[in-house]
Structures are given as C-alpha cells and as structure tokens.
C-alpha cells in the first residue's frame, strides 16, 4: 500500500481484519508518536496496512501515515521497508530523485498489538487514477515523455547509486506530486486540520466513526463514486468542448513509491516477483533476475501511458496456464524467445520444447509493436516509429541487452519537443 491520496478504493478491508495481529482501528483525531501526528482521514488500505492522512503538528504539514498490521510477519516486513526507505531518503537529501521519502517511523501500541508505523510524504493519486481520469485514452506523447523522465531518474538512482531493485514497478506504485483535483488536497482546498474529537455538545459526526465495513458506509462509498464519475465525465466533456485536454494544468511530476517488495541486488528476496502484467520473461522462466526486470516493467508502463491499455493481459485457457499465455503474447508482439531463455530457466522445460516453441500454444498471431500502435491505437507512422525505437530495446528477451535507466535518459525520444 502506498502513500497515495486515492488509496485502495475498490472494496473495504473488512471488520474481521481488526483483531489481534491485524489492523489498528483508527478514529479521526487519534494521535500518534506522543501527539505529533493527528489522524485526519483514511486514504486507503493494503494487505499489510492502512494508510491515513495525518497532520504533523511539529512541521505543520500533512503527511501519509502507514500503520502496519501487528502480527510478527508484518512487523518484519515493515522493518525491511523502513531499512530500504531510510537508505533511499538518506541518499537523496535534496529530494530531487523522484522517489518517495520516509519522514519518520515509530511503534504504536493498540488493543490488537504493537504496530509499526511509517510517516511518508503526502502525494497525489497514482498513475492508474490518472489514466482513469483521462477516460482510458492515451496521454499526449509530450506528457508520456514527462512522466517517463521522472520514472527513469528514480530508477537510475535506485539501480546505479543504491543497487536496489524495485521488483514491483506498476502504475499504482507511481504517485503524482499533487492531487489531480485541487479539492482533494487539504492544502490547496484550504481545509483546516482536525486536532481534537468533537465534544458531546457538538454532536456525533459521521467522520469520526471507525473506517471499517458497514452497510451504511458501503452505500456512502457507492454514492461518492457515482458523484466522482459524474464529475470526471463533466470535466472531460468541458475540456474537450474548450478544445483542450482534461489533463491540462495537472502537474505530471511523479514519484516511485512502495518499496515493500524491493531488494538489494546482492540479496534477492523471492523467485516470483512483479505484478503479473508487468512481469519480465526471465521471472516467468525462473532464469534469475536483476535490474533489467524493472526496465521491462518500465516499458510496459510507458506503453500503457501512451495507449491507455496494458501491453500484456494474459489469461489461462483450456490446456495452458497464465504463464504460457503471457509468453505467447510476448512472442506474438516481439518475436521468438532466444534459446538461452527457452532452455536455461528452472521452468523453461515446462513451457518450451527443444526447438524453443511453446508446448501447448502452437498458433501465434504475430503483429509488430509498430503496426499495433498505428492500426489499433491510431498513432501516426512517425510517432509510432519513434516510440518503438525507444521501447523495443527495453523489451529485449535477453535482460543483459536491455538498456539501463541511465542509457534511456540519453535516448533521443525523450527530448523530442513536439
């Protein structure tokens, strides 16, 4: 779970998770770290934690407060993330590397146990929310380039200077500097911080109830989502009517966040890494991984920003697995996988025959990336050619041939002005 202002919106974390070893129940105006941080509203939740907007009374700034579940395995995961974030923050004192910073960390004792807490920068929505806001249409190429530069500077810093692999780079783990809609930002909207709970005479306010599952809350969530959809649609129509894009005026600078699955190059944590759609081929065949896995994920993100759709969305079928479909989709778009990968991975023989063909998916529909961009996504021939020149090297099946983030930053495509 990241420090995003949008958080996980699809469903609630559920009341049954608020128990020994689970989440810490928070009320508006609860204080943490000896009164320094005051809870304002829930931003979201993840499998390991809930994230709250909090007011830092020491700096007079809003922050994101991540409260981990209290069971030992979650405390261990928090310790790992704190170590990673501490190194990231220490190495970027000027805060110019486009990575999320750790402001503080502490432990908080509650009825469900002791919870590890991280205080992070309050940032805007993630890039998936940006694409949704843009009605799943591709961004203008100048906007794609602006976002790609931020991500590449972050990856260059993580890879070259810190020797860190993110391992879970995706749209949800990249946050805008500020909220898309100003009213969602407590500073720009001029919202005064809540510093205490209301007294009995002030009455009960629904904002002060626990942020847990209830039928009333679900109805309110549905209503809010409906209003948000109408507002976004209205904003989109107005933008088009005035001859502009609905992203005009939005600050597209962004930061890479969520280092819970990150690892040092010398200490890989798990064999299966990365969210499915952004997973590199070497991870699927289990032939070992390093920094190039992040570069593959970055290429998938760049494609998604430019088209509004994921590059690969594999599904299991009759007689073949999701992994096999994923490899087939890669081969249809990028050509045959080299023998080095079809023969040498721990799982290569599960998927490929001795000729390097997939055992259970034989008919592939080949379509070049450039042709796909022109025919399906109506790119101009020039835009498609230039974009593919940037993307294709990053999608090399051989990880050792993929360019580094530092090399990508020198690519001519990033510096095209139109």
Annotation: binding site: 66
Q: Give CA–CA dist 50/106, Å, rounded.
A: 15
For 57, counting Cβ atoms within 10 Å of its Cβ (0-12 exposed, 13-18 middle, 19+ buried), the class is middle
Is residue 294 within 8 Å of 165, Cβ to Cβ?
yes
Length of the chain: 418
Q: Which of 153, 113, 111, 126 is nearest to 51 (CA)?
A: 126
Residue matched to tokens 């991975």: 345
Catalytic residue among 30, 156, 168, 258: 168
Is residue 135 within 8 Å of 231, Cβ to Cβ?
no
Q: Is 168 a catalytic residue?
A: yes
Q: Give CA–CA dist 401/403, Å, rounded.
A: 6
Residue matched to tokens 């940006």: 130
Category of 193 on φ-ψ map: left (φ > 0), alpha (ψ -120 to 50) or beta: beta
Q: Give CA–CA dist 404/392, Å, rounded.
A: 13
Phi, psi (deg, nearest 5) at residue 357? -95, 150
Three-point CA angle 253, 189, 249, nearest 5°: 35
Sign of CA dihedral 37, 40, 42, 43: negative
Which residues does 368 contact at the CB level (< 8 Å), separation at least 6?
A: 333
Which residues does 54 contact at the CB level (< 8 Å), separation at least 6?
A: 32, 37, 38, 39, 40, 62, 63, 64, 65, 119
Helix axes 292-307, 141-156, angle to 10 degrees: 160
SS3 of residue 358 by DSSP: strand
Residue matched to tokens 């080949």: 366
Give the residue numbers annotated as catalytic, written as ranges: 168
């Amino acid at each position: 779970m990241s420090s995003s202002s949008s958080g996980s919106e699809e469903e609630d974390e559920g009341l049954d998770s608020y128990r020994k070893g689970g989440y810490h129940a928070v009320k508006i105006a609860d204080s943490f770290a000896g009164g320094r941080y005051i809870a304002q509203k829930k931003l979201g939740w993840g499998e390991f934690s809930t994230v709250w907007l909090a007011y830092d009374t020491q700096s007079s700034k809003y922050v994101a407060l991540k409260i981990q579940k209290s069971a030992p395995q979650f405390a261990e995961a928090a310790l790992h993330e704190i170590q990673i974030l501490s190194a990231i923050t220490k190495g970027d004192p000027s805060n110019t590397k486009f990575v999320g910073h750790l402001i503080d960390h502490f432990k908080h004792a509650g009825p469900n146990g002791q919870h590890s807490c991280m205080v992070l920068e309050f940032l805007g929505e993630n890039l998936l929310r940006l694409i949704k806001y843009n009605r799943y249409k591709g961004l203008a190429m100048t906007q794609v380039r602006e976002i790609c530069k931020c991500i590449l500077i972050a990856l260059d810093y993580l890879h070259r200077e810190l020797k860190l692999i993110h391992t879970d780079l995706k749209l949800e783990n990249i946050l805008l500097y500020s909220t898309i809609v100003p009213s969602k930002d407590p500073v720009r909207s001029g919202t005064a911080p809540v510093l205490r709970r209301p007294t009995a005479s002030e009455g009960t306010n629904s904002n002060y109830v626990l942020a847990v599952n209830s039928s009333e809350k679900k109805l309110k969530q549905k209503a809010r989502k409906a209003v948000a959809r109408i507002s976004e649609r209205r904003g989109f129509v107005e933008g088009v009517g005035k001859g502009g894009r609905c992203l005009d005026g939005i600050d597209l600078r962004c930061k890479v966040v969520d280092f819970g699955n990150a690892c040092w190059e010398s200490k890989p944590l798990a064999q299966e890494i990365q969210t499915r759609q952004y997973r590199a081929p070497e991870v699927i065949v289990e032939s070992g991984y390093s920094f190039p896995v992040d570069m593959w994920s970055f290429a998938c993100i760049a494609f998604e920003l430019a088209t509004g759709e994921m590059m690969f969305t594999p599904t299991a079928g009759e007689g073949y697995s999701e992994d096999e479909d994923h490899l087939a989709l890669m081969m249809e778009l990028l050509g045959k996988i080299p023998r080095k990968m079809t023969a040498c991975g721990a799982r290569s023989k599960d998927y490929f025959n001795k000729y390097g063909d997939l055992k259970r998916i034989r008919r592939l529909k080949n379509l070049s990336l450039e042709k796909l961009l022109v025919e399906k996504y109506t790119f101009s021939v020039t835009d498609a050619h230039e974009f593919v020149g940037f993307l294709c090297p990053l999608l090399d099946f051989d990880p050792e041939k993929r360019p580094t983030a530092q090399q990508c930053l020198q690519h001519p495509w990033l510096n095209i002005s139109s």
